[in-house]
Amino acid sequence: MLSLILPLLTLTPTAQAGGIGFIGTGGVRGETVYFYDRSDNDQKYSISETIANMGTGIEVMLGDRDDPIQGHFRGYAMFETPEYDPANVTNLVAERDVDAAWREKWRSVGLATVGLQFKIIGDPDTFQVVAHADMGSGFLTLDHSEFLLIELGGGITKAVGRDLQFFASAVYAVRVDRGMVHGANVYSGLRYLFD
């Protein structure tokens, strides 16, 4: 089957429009940390914590700047803040009786997403309002905690000269890994467009 597909790929036309850029990101998400009460037959408890993240990477755009729908790929590294010691943030169990394992150090994650940018109003050569739908994965982790990432949101683009475009967006983010974790992320950066 692969021997049939590869020759067909050589017949596809070369992309004539798109762009490449650098992105920066930051956000927050929920995190559930579990702990046990040593004084009560190891009764299990959990608390919700808020974890911040930041990162940087690249973005590749596909499609003419005037197209109402453009595709994009983002590949980036994200760095997440440590979790808090449950003994210091809960009053459910006496501090001396808390038995817990939590992530005490920053965590790095490699992410890749693909998505669509939808033009709502405006002109890409000046200013426009856009919507985003992205899906991808935190596929590269040292602690084997990979996850599916789905993001929906909106943003703006602003032309900075003929070929450069500033962009910023805010998205609602859902992580799926043995359950759903909710959060929010912001992205901004600069794209070089060619078409």
The two structure tokens encoding residue 75: 């590949």
Residue 57 within a domain? yes
Confidence at residue 6, expressed as pLDDT on a 0 to 100 scale: 55
Confidence at residue 109, expressed as pLDDT on a 0 to 100 scale: 96
Residue 11 within a domain? no
Spatial separation of the C-alpha atoms in residues 54 and 154, rounded to whole Å:
19
Spatial separation of the C-alpha atoms in residues 96 and 68, rounded to whole Å:
59
Confidence at residue 92, expressed as pLDDT on a 0 to 100 scale: 82
Residue 139 within a domain? yes
> Residue 32 maps to which CATH number?
2.40.160
Report the number of distinct structural domains present in the chain.
Answer: 1
Residue 127 within a domain? yes
Q: Is residue 16's pLDDT more than 90?
A: no
The 10s digit of each residue's pLDDT in 39-76 is 888 889 888 999 999 999 999 999 998 999 999 999 99
116: how many CB neighbours lie within 10 A of its CB? 16
Confidence at residue 177, expressed as pLDDT on a 0 to 100 scale: 87
The 10s digit of each residue's pLDDT in 67-116 is 999 999 999 999 999 998 888 888 788 888 888 888 899 999 999 999 99
Global pTM reads 0.84
Residue 133 within a domain? yes
Residue 28 structural domain: 18-194
Confidence at residue 4, expressed as pLDDT on a 0 to 100 scale: 54
For residues 130-160, one letter each, b for 16 or more C-beta atoms within 10 angstroms of the residue's C-beta and e for the rest, the string is bbbebebbbeeeeeeeebebbbebebbbebe
